[in-house]
Amino acid sequence: MHVFAWGMVEDYVILSSESSVCPQVIINISSVGFVPLYGFSDKQKILALFSPTDPMTAVGLYLLDKWWAVEDILQTADPARDGAVEVETVGERIVLYILNRVIYRAQEMSSEELPFLCHGENHYAKILWNNGEAIGFYSVKHSGSPCNSFSSRIFQLPVMDSIFVRKCHRGKGFGLQMLEDFVLSFKEDSLGLRYPLSKSMYKVCEKYLSQYPGDAERLWEVESIGRPNQRTNIANKIQTMDLSDFYNCLYGLYFSIFIFSFYFILLYFITIGPAHEHPYCSDELISLWGLIKSSLSIYLSIYLSIYLSSPIGSGVSMRGHTWSEKMLLHFFDVKTLDFDIVSVSNSV
């Protein structure tokens, strides 16, 4: 068993003159302990300092004969470290451990997410560096690599089994950057992403496929080892999800129209209907009813104008009409309302 109380390459970590470990943490026998660097393997361990308020969370590691806060270990003085860099050294394995076990699992993982497994000593992984800071990572199981140490089954294609970007750096395109790097790093015709994908990862895949539509048949959501019957095409699944969102909007619109129609038809029979039967029929009420019908058509046209700007509203056809046009034809008699559907489509 190797114990890493020292041994990181000195030019890898920024060596500060003062330790940035939180001063409230008292270093004694009850606040320190060894943690395995590679999960369940006891082959290599690191001396860690734990918070008194959360004894399961490491706040510092003992490296190069001194204590380092986890945030300091995520920094580098090497200007060449930029973008996705493959993990090769022990120091990089320690950074990967901190990003996975300390930052993600202990600090930033939501209740809806599943924890990633610990990365093994020889697992393929890349750390994403930006402005001298490690801000994320992704790892891959190679085609032909074993599913786990307890099984003889092997992966049928390269599978990205974990990807993470720190919360403070999300929304800046780093997830897309790592997905692009993953695709460029492997030449196989089919590449997998481990099931289940999060909603944010589906959005990353959607952005990638919009930029590289030729890879639509290359990316698959993979269960288990990725046999043909354990794969789902991501491009098709995104389209199915978009259609599901469309139908939800459609049902909401149906309900809104139903409520409006019920209310105004009831108003018509209470007011305008009886008015026609009497010599003092109110022109104001009849005008009001015409205004109501016009308002309904304007309401729907605004809704469709917004929806037509979406990929589905403008691109998915159904027997000669886009979904939005078909929806408009379904709700209103175009001739009765003098509503030109073509003009709406061309105005968006």
Read out DSSP for 115-152?
PPPPPPTT-EEEEEEETTEEEEEEEEEPTT-BSSTT--
Q: Are residues 267 and 315 in the same domain?
A: yes
Measured in degrees and rounded to the nearest 5, phi and psi for residue 170 equal -80, 160
Beta strands in the chain (DSSP E): 2-4, 32-38, 41-50, 58-63, 66-69, 83-86, 124-130, 133-141, 159-165, 191-194, 219-222, 231-233, 317-318, 321-322
Q: Is residue 23 included in any domain, yes or no?
A: no
Q: Which helix (H) or strand (E) holds 327?
A: helix 323-331
pLDDT at 309: 52
Q: What is the mean pLDDT of residues 11-29?
A: 50
41: β partners: 38
Q: For the chain, what is the domain count?
A: 2
Q: For residue 106, name the pLDDT band (cuts at 50, 70, 90).
A: confident
Same domain flag for 109 and 184: yes
Encoding tokens for residue 224? Answer: 């288990």
Instruction: Write out pLDDT tens, residues 147-185.
Output: 876 778 999 999 999 999 999 999 999 999 999 999 999
| Bigger pLDDT: 142 vs 267 | 142
Please tell me whether the peptide bond between 55 and the residue prior to it is cis, using omega within 30 degrees of 0: no
Strand partners, 6: none
pLDDT in tens, 206-256: 999 999 999 999 999 999 999 999 999 999 998 887 666 666 666 666 666
Is 159 a member of any domain? yes
Burial 273-285 (b: 16+ CB within 10 A, else e): eebeeeeeeeeeb
Segments forming the whole domain that contains residue 202: 70-226
Pick 309 or 228 by higher pLDDT: 228
- Shared-domain flag, residues 160 and 261: no
My answer on whether 105 and 216 are in the same domain is yes
Q: How far apart are CA 189 and CA 204, in angstroms?
A: 20
